[in-house]
Amino acid sequence: MSVPEEKARRVFSEKFGGDPEIAVFSPGRVNLIGEHTDYNAGYVLPMALPLITVIVGSRRDDEKICLVTTAEGADEPHKVEFVAPSRDNPLVPGTPKWANYPKGVIQHYR
């Protein structure tokens, strides 16, 4: 298990009182040329970064979603809760700003 995954699992256990059911990772990258063209049949020259995103989580029995960040320098609060989006109640951007990224993904895949 990687150090970032160990940290994410530990924080999850501290905040929610149990072990996460799933852990996923995404490597960091930067495009030297061709920003946002690779998925439009264009060319890119990407370079890997020594950064990763780690997400751990578990299902809930209610409609609430709770997000916690451990990112250094993230705006407060570091923990947010909101109701899962529906057709009549979409998620909207707000504060803290770091939560808008996962909110956008949640809204898209609701």
Q: What is the pLDDT of residues 91-106, one digit of tens each?
A: 999 999 999 999 999 9
> Is the model's pTM score more than 0.85?
no
| CA–CA gap between residue 91 and residue 106 (Å, rounded) | 8
**Res 57 pLDDT > 90:** yes
List Cβ<8 Å contacts ≥24 apart for 100-104. 102/67
pLDDT-based confidence at residue 69 (cuts at 50, 70, 90): very high
Residue 13: count other Cβ atoms within 10 Å of its Cβ.
13
For the chain, what is the largest distance between any 2 Cα atoms, rounded to a whole number of angstroms? 46
pLDDT band at 43, cuts 50/70/90?
Answer: confident
H helix or E strand, kind and range, residue 9: helix 3-16
